[in-house]
Amino acid sequence: MANEIGDTAGMNKARVESFSDGVFAFAITLLVLSIPIPDIKSADDQLLTAGLLRVIPQLIPYVTSFATIGIIWLNHHSMFHEVEKVKHTTLTLNLVLLLVVAFIPYSTGVIGRYGALRSAVVLYGATFTAGGLAFSALWFDIRRNQLSREREDDARIRPTTIRNLIGPVIYPLATALAFVAPKTSLGIFFGLAGFYYLPGLPRRNDGP
Instruction: Give per-residue pLDDT as tens, 72-111.
Output: 998 888 888 777 778 888 899 999 999 999 999 999 989 8
Q: What is the pLDDT of residues 136-147, one digit of tens each?
A: 899 888 887 766
**When comparing pLDDT for 18 and 51, which is higher?**
18
Amino acid in position 130: A
pTM value is 0.80
pLDDT score, position 6: 45
Rounded to 5 degrees, φ, ψ at 57 are -60, -25
SS3 36: coil
Average pLDDT of span 38-64: 83
In degrees rounded to 5, what are phi and psi of residue 148?
A: -100, 155
Q: How much is the mean pLDDT over the chain?
A: 81
Give dist(CA 131, CA 93) in Å, integer. 11
The sign of the dihedral angle between the CA atoms of 70, 95, 171, 56 is positive
N- to C-terminal Cα separation, the chain: 35
Determine the Cα–Cα distance for residues 78 and 118; give it in Å rounded to an integer: 35
Q: Give the max Cα distance, the chain.
A: 65
How far does CA 3 lie from the centroid of its chain? Answer: 32
Contacts of 188 (CB under 8 A, 6+ apart): 170, 174, 177
Q: Which of these, 195, 179, 66, 55, lies nearest to 126 by C-alpha position?
A: 179
pLDDT value of position 203: 44
